[in-house]
Amino acid sequence: MTDTGSLDTEPDGPDLQSGTLNPAENEADCFHDECGVFGIFGKQDAAAVVTLGLHALQHRGQEAAGIVSFNGQQFSVERHVGLIGDTFTKRSVMDRLPGDRAIGHTRYSTTGGEGLRNVQPFFAEFAGGGFAIAHNGNITNALTVQRELQQRGSIFASTSDTETILHLIAVSEKSRIVPKFIDAITRLEGAYSLVGLSEKKMIGARDPLGIRPLCIGDLDGAYILASETCALDIIGARFVREVEPGEVVVITGKGIESHFPFEKQPPRLCIFEYVYFARPDSTIDNRNVYDSRKRIGEELAKECPVDADVIIPVPDSGTPAAIGFAQQANLPFELGIIRNHYVGRTFIAPSSAIRHMGVKLKLNPNKSMIEGKRVVLVDDSIVRGTTSQKIVQLVREAGAREVHMRIASPPTMSSCFYGVDTPEKAQLLASRMSVDAMADFIRVDSLGFVSIDGLYRAVREPGRNAECPQFCDACFTGEYPTTLTDQQDQGNVRSLSLLANNG
């Protein structure tokens, strides 16, 4: 993978382009986390603070963002397609979001089509008042619930599972918002970290397994909810604690109140947050992400050593693991592939002559670091393998004597249904091939993956507890920690909206 959430935190996935000039075309060759959420309660100009928080979470979703604020009388909503730094930084936008409490959401896009109608937070007026909600994760029984709600006359304005949650709140027979909210989430399956805003309260919630992260911060007495700690850092807020798996926190002017509506279960945080999704400067569950990645590189160097001249990261997502690998192996770490961070839209290649000349829009090998050398490339994962194939070719053309690939995660063999955009299982290289066959496919002299136990050790566990795994690692193991109702029920459920587009 050529990152989003890694060392640099930036606009796009990989695109090697030996054969294409389209920076988007290879996007599918990595995993994309779908969302980041952020809320603050009790701070003047709350929407400006949310803007900064979302800017720090942009690596979790860069296609669109939205903010809802409340000024004591009315809610205000702004939703825009594009980067936070382009769309929420005009004074006019900020002026339309008054109030001392606000929540926001930045999204990639998974469930639900594109278009502004799917941009969160969502807002609804119930008999009891207004409520806005932002969601990171994926509800695995959303379609089933949606069908039930439609039967009783609910109308859906979007294709997002988040709207389903709003409807469940609306039809709850409880009279106050917190009991309504709890009513609703107890109907849900899957992964969710939620931030909600009513007229008087900000609510945070995490699914019983805590698959997606959510933490609590404090800025001069104003409470914050955020997907990652880097969103606290950007504004100088203090980290308070994680929202616990299965916890509902209710924030008012009087402080935090905590509810545990679910039976206690052993947590299953997504381990891929450490591998790739989270920003390297974030800390989740007391584990620093950069440090975890370096340690994966160290495990990898121990498990799959190689006699080589130079360790080169696939920028930027492979860099921390490459540093760890180089330190462990006592080999020089060099920036042998240079990444061009200026990226734009699809480049036009009018003639096939140009399309076939092997344009390197984004990554350029630095020949002087490669020529005649035995190179170890370190990357965070292999998805379809096409990107790896192109990078290896680049490095070979730059004169490498040998090319070895080391991957800072186990082979990814299964799709994710918890809020990450992954190809179907059949598209995953590791689901189709042995490691040896993969090495042939990407044309390396050797290929090594860190083991699942090595990965667990890197995040300071003694190893994977097969009886009761400490993390969700379904993409590596195929063991899904929740039921997948909509998946099992595909024959019965209309999975696509009747609406093709909604401008």
**CA 501 to chain CA mean position, Å:** 25
Residue of the chain from 252, 265, 366, 431 that contacts its own copies (CB under 8 A): 366
Contact flag: residue 77 with its own copies (CB under 8 A): yes
Region of 479 (left: φ > 0; alpha: ψ -120 to 50; beta: rest) is: beta
- The helix/strand/coil state of 5 is coil
Which residues between 301 and 340 bind its own copies (CB under 8 A)? 315, 319-320, 323, 327, 332-335, 338-340
Contact flag: residue 478 with its own copies (CB under 8 A): no
In sequence order, the β-bridge partners of residue 65 are 80, 106
Between 172 and 414, name the residue whose CB sits nearer to its own copies: 172
Between 66 and 204, name the residue whose CB sits nearer to its own copies: 66
Report whether the peptide linkage leading into residue 220 is cis, meaning its omega lies within 30 degrees of zero. no
Contact flag: residue 150 with its own copies (CB under 8 A): yes
Distance of closest approach, residue 27 Cβ to its own copies, in angstroms: 15
Contact flag: residue 256 with its own copies (CB under 8 A): no
Region of 478 (left: φ > 0; alpha: ψ -120 to 50; beta: rest) is: left
Q: How far apart are CA 338 and CA 2, in angstroms?
A: 12
Q: What angle do CA 115, 117, 119 make, to 5 degrees?
A: 80
Residue with tokens 């698959």: 211
Q: How far apart are CA 26 and CA 171, in angstroms?
A: 43
Query: What is the set of active-site residues?
Result: 35
Which residues between 447 and 466 bind its own copies (CB under 8 A)? none
Distance of closest approach, residue 6 Cβ to its own copies, in angstroms: 10
φ and ψ at 275, to 5 degrees?
Answer: -70, -40
DSSP string, 161-227: HHHHHHHHHHH---SSHHHHHHHHHTT--EEEEEEEEESS-EEEEE-TT--S--EEEEETTEEEEES
Between 84 and 194, name the residue whose CB sits nearer to its own copies: 84
Contact flag: residue 24 with its own copies (CB under 8 A): no
Binding track over 219-238 against its own copies, x by CB under 8 A: x----------x--xxxx--
For the annotated binding site for Mg(2+), the residues are 317, 379-380
Between 319 and 409, name the residue whose CB sits nearer to its own copies: 319
Segment near its own copies (CB under 8 A); pick from 260-268, 286-294, 372-380, 477-485: 286-294
Contact 397, 363 (CB under 8 A): no
Between 17 and 389, name the residue whose CB sits nearer to its own copies: 17
For the annotated binding site, the residues are 270, 317, 379-380, 416, 472, 475
Between 90 and 264, name the residue whose CB sits nearer to its own copies: 90
Contact flag: residue 426 with its own copies (CB under 8 A): no
Residue of the chain from 221, 424, 462, 500 that contacts its own copies (CB under 8 A): 500
Which residues between 85 and 124 bind its own copies (CB under 8 A)? 85-87, 89-91, 93-96, 116, 123-124
In sequence order, the β-bridge partners of residue 194 are 135, 205
Residue with tokens 């604020």: 69
Contact flag: residue 492 with its own copies (CB under 8 A): no
Q: How far apart are CA 452 and CA 440, in angstroms?
A: 23
